[in-house]
Structure 1
Amino acid sequence: MTHAQANISALAPWLELNLRQFPLEYGDQLSSHLPMALHALHSLGADEARMAAFFNSYSRRFEGMVAPSAVAAPEDWLSLRGDWSAYSALRSYFELALAAEGRDALLRRVLPDLLPGISAVAFHGAIRLAHAVEGGHGPELVAALAYWASRWQQLPAPAVQSGVESLNLPAWSERLVAGASTWRSEAPLIFLRMMEASARPVYAELVWAAPAAAPTLLARVAELASLALDYYLHSANFTVLHMITGLRAVRVLAPWIPAEPNFQIQVQAILTQAFVAAYMAGRVQWRDTPEPKNGLNWAELADAATQAEDDHVIKLVHACREEMAVYGDPQYLQAAAMALR
């Protein structure tokens, strides 16, 4: 049994309380990390007192705000993709669909239409859904699907580039790091910078020069996850952090993504485009990696993460632990320790 499969019964009341009391965003279109961080805290071993303390601290961000009210479900959810005002209607739709179809059938049906918008709100639609799946909580799963659908955002197809040859992964990574350094956006939010990046010629060049499709979607996810880990160790960059957690989300959701080869190749292309746009949006400042810390272990790192106040740190340590369990790369220990400094 993995960490993510641990008993989640103690988590459900906190997720339900969040859904009853608070909206999906706060401030200037900032995604609420509360349900995701609660799941990560629980998985990392936080006790009831710590869960309560974190919930109460985070809830101050929603002062004066209330949870959205329920409305009637639409017949056609696809026509509402990308319509933030339709969140409540979409939530009603997915609630009925979950009851009628069950989790597995519902995810298999809707993920093909959600994945082209993987970049929505800086991957948070997919990230929240992955946490909901692991948390095993139906209402949170419904909320995550509705959030992703209502904030759905598709990057435009890259302009056609003639004479661009596909590179191998190391060469392409070097080209990405160098190419991203020639452009900078001052937009305040990650997804806005990703959209700006997708309009630049260097973005199209990098997408067209990307390595040929991997044998499977999970193989491509693993390749990109390894690159994102290396980028984070060289930068501790906030956007790269979201690339790590976003790729973990795709890995978690992979069992419900259609296995049809052509579709898997399409998803690889979608991920590659989002990866390029996110790295360009990150305004990454490359630096030497710090000296590796010796004697690191997950028990101590997880305990430190449960005491953290930064929701992003909590989620990253959780993601690093889960990714190391899958990929076996000990550098995830170093990334977690870096986040906790």
Structure 2
Amino acid sequence: MRDDDGTLDEALVRLHATGPEFRGWLSNHAPMAVEAMVRHGQGARVHRWLDGYRVRLEERPAPYGRITQENWREALGDARYLGDWTAYFGERLGERPWRAVLAEWWPRLLPGIAAGATHPVIRVGHAVRTLLAGDETAPRIAELAHGLGYWAARHQPLPDGIVPAPAPADARDALRAVPPVPDPSGGITHRLAQITTLPAWAAPDDGTAPEAARERLDRLVRAATGYYATHAHGEPVMLVHAATAPNAVLRALPALPPGLWPASLAAAWAASAGVVASYAPAGGPRPPAAGGGATAEELFDRAAVHGDAHAIKLADTALDVAAAHPRDGHLALGAVLRAVELTDPTD
């Protein structure tokens, strides 16, 4: 974490006066984007970028009703409690270590990983990465509360009764085997509701050991990043989440008990496959963009200059893949070029 001057904490304090959504249901991407920019040495751009982004944001939601240990189940998935859930997690994180709170709530929230088009789990993943890497400052603890609160308020499981289908062993092939939804119109909630079958590439009860689950999750992130490089034209904004959602889960694993890792893999697969089912292009893949010899750092700089929050977050995940798996670097970096090419920072 390159944050020698407090830029990230300053940005988070500014953002915590705003809500997790705007214009009805669009997600506030700023906390995730600024964390990625600081991490990759682009802290000097953060406040100017935030000045431009913040004008679209809204104030924190007003209280609706207090969340308690007795009524939280009834309030789960009820967006009227957006502000109250954040306050609840702020209280819990003030009483206990953040890892203990995360371990208690992770299995409760995990079945609703589709919440907010997967943005809440992504926000939690960025917050956890920051806490694992550096000082546990008050703004960084508060950011975890905001992420967990957003996830709880928008908690959304995939449809009941999804039939598991045979799945290729390779994660790349498994993603390409995901059947598209019959009516690819409307928002993601409408699309996810149409899913009736998914390849059974990962399931909570498939006997996967924790370390094997972590390795398979890593393969999924690599595959989904490569999928974006060749399929982003299906929907360049929404398909970002097929990669960034499982990577958020992967980032959280070191802070979680290993016993939770297999279920985390299964949920990450369901989220990634659900996004692919919803937005896969009808015409199939296209050749990935060529990087022209640019380094990973140069491509992240290109994404930061471009300014679209989705491109910045996709670049952040792509750099993880390229650093850990140089042989997949061309596809990962090609994904960054596709995101810069196809996303609109003013959208």
- Residues 259-299 of structure 1, C-alpha deviation per residue, up to 9 Å, x if partnerless? 22xx5443333333323221111142423214533412023
Answer yes or no: is 1:143 the counterpart of 2:146: yes
Residue 57 of structure 1 corresponds to which residue in structure 2?
A: 52
User: Cα gap change, 1:255/1:11 in structure 2, threshold over 3 Å: closer, same or farther?
Assistant: same
Residue 345 of structure 2 corresponds to which residue in structure 1?
A: none
**Structure 2 counterpart of 1:10, from 7, 10, 13:** 7
Q: Which amino acid aligns with 2:59?
A: V
**Structure 2 counterpart of 1:220, from 210, 216, 223:** 216
Distance in 1, matches of 2:201 and 2:38, equals 41
Q: CA RMSD of the aligned region, Å?
A: 2.5
Which segment is superposed worse, 148-157 or 320-329? 320-329
Answer yes or no: is 1:27 the counterpart of 2:23: yes
Q: Which amino acid aligns with 2:107?
A: P
Distance in 2, matches of 1:209 and 1:108, equals 25
Q: Which amino acid aligns with 1:337?
A: L
- Residues 107-165 of structure 1, C-alpha deviation per residue, up to 9 Å, x if partnerless? 1111111111111111111101111223340111111110001000011333456xx65
**Structure 1 counterpart of 2:68, from 74, 82, 90:** 74
Distance in 2, matches of 1:246 and 1:152, equals 15
Please state whether the residue corresponding to 1:87 is helix, strand or coil: helix
**Structure 2 counterpart of 1:281, from 275, 278, 282:** 278
TM-score, scaled relative to structure 2: 0.83
Residue 340 of structure 1 corresponds to which residue in structure 2?
A: 340
Please state whether the residue corresponding to 1:235 is helix, strand or coil: helix
Distance in 2, matches of 1:244 and 1:290, equals 16
Residue 40 of structure 1 corresponds to which residue in structure 2?
A: 36
Distance in 2, matches of 1:209 and 1:130, equals 22
User: Counterparts in 2 of 1:1-341, with a 5 A limit?
Assistant: 4=1, 7=4, 9-20=6-17, 22-48=18-44, 50-62=45-57, 65-69=58-62, 72-76=66-70, 77-136=72-131, 137-160=140-163, 165=166, 167-169=168-170, 172-176=174-178, 179-180=179-180, 183-188=182-187, 190-196=188-194, 198=195, 200=196, 204=197, 206-208=198-200, 214-215=208-209, 216-236=212-232, 237-260=236-259, 264-285=261-282, 286-290=284-288, 292-328=290-326, 329-330=328-329, 331-341=331-341
TM-fit CA distance, 1:171: 5.3
Q: Which has the higher contact order (CA 8 A, sep 6+)?
A: 1
User: Cα gap change, 1:135/1:267 in structure 2, threshold over 3 Å: closer, same or farther?
Assistant: closer
Please state whether the residue corresponding to 1:185 is helix, strand or coil: coil
Give the number of equivalent residue pairs: 320
- Residues 206-231 of structure 1, C-alpha deviation per residue, up to 9 Å, x if partnerless? 33476966542212212322321232
Identity in percent = 26
Q: Is the 8 A contact 2:289 2:335 kept in 1?
A: no
Q: Is the 8 A contact 1:193 1:281 kept in 2?
A: yes
Q: Is the 8 A contact 1:167 1:210 kept in 2?
A: no
Distance in 2, matches of 1:289 and 1:315, equals 22
Q: Is the 8 A contact 1:85 1:150 kept in 2?
A: yes
Unmatched tracts of structure 1, length 5 or more: none
TM-fit CA distance, 1:68: 2.4
User: Cα gap change, 1:168/1:302 in structure 2, threshold over 3 Å: closer, same or farther?
Assistant: closer
Q: Is the 8 A contact 2:129 2:252 kept in 1?
A: no
- Residues 4-40 of structure 1, C-alpha deviation per residue, up to 9 Å, x if partnerless? 47557321111111112x2211113111111111112
Which segment is superposed worse, 317-326 or 93-102? 317-326
Q: Is the 8 A contact 2:167 2:177 kept in 1?
A: no
Distance in 1, matches of 2:201 and 2:318, equals 29
Unmatched tracts of structure 2, length 5 or more: 132-139, 342-347
Q: Which amino acid aligns with 1:310?
A: D
Q: Which amino acid aligns with 1:121?
A: G
Q: Is the 8 A contact 2:221 2:243 kept in 1?
A: yes
Distance in 2, matches of 1:8 and 1:39, equals 14
Q: Which amino acid aligns with 2:177?
A: R
Distance in 2, matches of 1:107 and 1:247, equals 17
Q: Which amino acid aligns with 2:251?
A: V
User: Cα gap change, 1:194/1:327 in structure 2, threshold over 3 Å: closer, same or farther?
Assistant: farther
